[in-house]
Amino acid sequence: MSVEAFHQRTRIRLLQAGGVALGLLLLAGQPRWTGAVHERLEFLGFCLVVACIAGRLWSILYLGGRKNRSLVVEGPYSMTRNPLYVFSTIGAVGVGLIYGSVVVALLLGVLSAWAFFLTARKEEAYLREAFGQPYATYAARTPLFWPRPSLYRDSAEVSFSPKVLKQTFLDGLVFLAMFPALEAIEWLQAEGVLKVFFHFA
């Protein structure tokens, strides 16, 4: 196994372990906000998750099945070199708000941004080697992670892979599936099936 593959597998395992730990916290805790505030947080979170799915689909329309084979610099890739990671981070924040906690939303957002940023830095080394000067020029003007909308530019037409688009849509549904999952946890806590040990703000 290469060093890069080892680091990638380690990152995945750390993310999985973090996800399990966070899941246990959510099972044992409960949002402090109730009533109208809780409903507003849920609605905002749902909107962010929808934006995440739409943004990931928009990004994959430009990337298609060309990842690591050609340099894509238009559409969302003109504002950030990693729009898929950015939209996934937005989705993670949305999941935290659907849960009804600003603290959980911030925690998920920071952890996701950190993990995706590290992954993007690792991938950048490969892209610099694969595409040489064109990538160096692109990287010099385009942020690695946080988008800069003023840089936006588009292409006349885009070709995409229906198979990749479908897979991205299905992947995005994982974010949406958190809504009924978190509602189920909330119901089980209200019924006394799950004991609440602490509250999140």
- What's the Cα-to-Cα distance from 56 to each of 80, 166, 189, rounded to whole Å? 13, 11, 33
Residue 69 domain boundaries: 3-13+33-200
pLDDT at 139: 94
What's the average pLDDT block by block, 10 residues per block, for the chain (201 residues)? 55 66 77 87 95 93 73 93 94 92 91 88 88 93 94 80 78 80 83 83 74
Residues 79, 152 contacting (CB under 8 angstroms): yes
Tell me the torsion sign for CA atoms 21, 26, 27, 30: positive
- Select from 89, 97, 84, 83 the least CA-distant residue to 46: 97
Strand partners, 200: 31
Domain contains 19: no
pLDDT at 147: 95
pLDDT at 70: 80
pLDDT at 36: 92
pLDDT at 7: 54
Domain contains 139: yes
pLDDT at 189: 83
Domain contains 18: no
pLDDT at 152: 94
Q: What's the total number of domains in the chain?
A: 1
Strands (E), the chain: 29-31, 198-200
pLDDT at 54: 94
Domain contains 156: yes
Domain contains 169: yes
pLDDT at 2: 52
Domain contains 7: yes
Domain contains 21: no
Domain contains 107: yes
Question: How far does CA 5 lie from the centroid of its chain?
Answer: 21
